[in-house]
């Protein structure tokens, strides 16, 4: 696992902060909003759907499968769910 997520902060392998998950919003280290989570969807700052997560598969806006929770957990150590999917999609992938 290369990245660590403690439920609020995503850190790279060196321990540097990459992003913060605040409620349903993902911010970079400067506070810029990268994306928003609405139920099973990840949206960009303008509200356009980027990806969906059905509990197992992650699909892009066109419905194509781009990964699974297992794929994400190989890269990021932390509590699973839509927050992990969002961080993976926006920053790690």
Interval 1-22: pLDDT, tens? 699 999 999 999 999 999 999 9
Interval 23-47: pLDDT, tens? 899 999 999 999 999 999 999 999 9
pTM greater than 0.85? yes
* Strand intervals (E) in 1-93: 3-5, 9-11, 17-22, 25-28, 33-38, 41-43, 49-53, 57-60, 65-68, 76-77
The pLDDT score that the predictor gives to residue 43 is 97
């Amino acid at each position: 696992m290369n990245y660590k997520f403690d439920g609020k902060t995503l850190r790279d392998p060196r321990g540097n902060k990459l992003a913060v998950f605040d409620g349903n919003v993902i911010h970079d280290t400067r506070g810029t909003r990268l994306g928003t989570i609405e139920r099973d969807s990840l949206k960009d700052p303008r509200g356009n759907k980027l990806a969906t997560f059905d509990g197992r598969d992650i699909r892009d806006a066109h419905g194509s499968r781009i990964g699974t929770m297992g794929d994400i957990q190989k890269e990021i150590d932390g509590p699973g769910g839509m927050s992990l999917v969002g961080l993976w999609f926006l920053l790690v992938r």
